[in-house]
Structure 1
Amino acid sequence: MQGRLSVWLIKHGLVHRSLGFDYQGIETLQIKPEDWHSIAVILYVYGYNYLRSQCAYDVAPGGLLASVYHLTRIEYAIDQPEEVCIKVFVPRRNPRIPSVFWVWKSADFQERESYDMLGIYYDNHPRLKRILMPESWIGWPLHPLLGMNRVNRMKLNEFIMPNYVPRTSFRWTPESHIGRNEELE
């Protein structure tokens, strides 16, 4: 079953794949990465003037990465805005998607977070740099191939607890706790 937007896209010869509807009845479409920017501009002109959210996830082991866009068509004097979910799938080895920052400014931090966590490059994004992880981080923590390793775990511990010194030679004895109760009183 195709939704209203899918029928409109077919009528105008725009390539996409309908993925059905989610549990809330929101139409979900798959767009190829090479077609995404032009279709994003068309959707904006069509009336989808608000990017509610953007996220990314790992589809399946050995599979693809997905960048998901939730768009809303907000019009004056309409009680129920029209919504659509767009999914753009990319390979893990070279995940590149055109940025929609110049269409919806709210994509700025959201695309940066997807880059920072999964390593998806958003072409033509003006400030595509780390937003959550330290600049010294190697790889992407949620990327299935280039995620956490021993070096990054050590760097993360230094970032979270910079003054923490592990006590490797401490051995508990009854004498080691003498005097602690007096400090508390």
Structure 2
Amino acid sequence: MQQIRLSDWLVKNKLVHRSLGFDYKGIESLQIKAQDWDSIAIILYVYGYNYLRSQCAYDVIPGGFLASVYHLTRIQYGIEKPEEVCIKIFSPRNNPKIPSSFWIWRSADFQERESYDMFGISYENHPRLKRILMPESWIGWPLRKDYITPNFYEIQDAH
């Protein structure tokens, strides 16, 4: 029930979004435009969504959009009744750019870096956006559906 109020609250305050429905736990997913993410993220934080439970990314379809996903939690009525929302931001794969939420939720640091490393989504204004899992010299974005796996692997010196 709380999730419906969030969507209604966003509509009432003229904040552009699109409801993507509810998951099996009743958590609403909202689609936000990349250019609106900065302001909506701040508003959600002030509204009480001060805990970033997770951030991840996925490739929607080969050749299509990439998605950055933020799971936010608001604990207003006690730990037994957390309010959660899932925010999805879609970006074109040829130049995927999304404002970083690092300055609002510091826990986004490594999570956005992993999404950058695996999918190539550039999180604008992130303080240390660089590869975190793959070597800096790695070419391509390994978790994209159109990624072509090299037929060789270099064994690097572990020392």
The alignment's TM-score, normalised by the length of structure 2, stands at 0.91
Distance 2:80 2:145 in 1: 42
Distance 1:136 1:62 in 2: 24
Q: Structure 2: which 5+ residue stretches go unaligned?
A: none
Runs ≥4 in structure 1, deviation > 4 angstroms? none
SS class of match (2:38): helix
The alignment's TM-score, normalised by the length of structure 1, stands at 0.79
Distance 2:137 2:65 in 1: 26
CA-based RMSD of the aligned residues comes to 1.7
Spell out the pairing of 1:18-167 with structure 2 (5 A cutoff). 18-75=19-76, 77-145=78-146, 147-150=147-150, 153-154=151-152, 156-159=153-156, 162=157
**After the TM superposition, which of the residue ranges 40-49 and 75-84 deviates more from structure 2?**
75-84
Distance 1:148 1:115 in 2: 17
SS class of match (1:43): helix
Asked if structure 2 preserves the Cα contact closer than 8 Å seen for 1:140 and 1:148, the reply is no
Asked if structure 1 preserves the Cα contact closer than 8 Å seen for 2:30 and 2:87, the reply is yes
Shift of 1:62: 2.6
Distance 2:36 2:19 in 1: 15
1:16 aligned partner? 17
Shift of 1:61: 2.4
Distance 1:82 1:32 in 2: 22
Higher relative contact order (CA 8 A, sep 6+): 2
SS class of match (2:155): helix
Give the number of the structure whose residues are more often helix, by fraction: 1
**After the TM superposition, which of the residue ranges 78-87 and 23-32 deviates more from structure 2?**
78-87
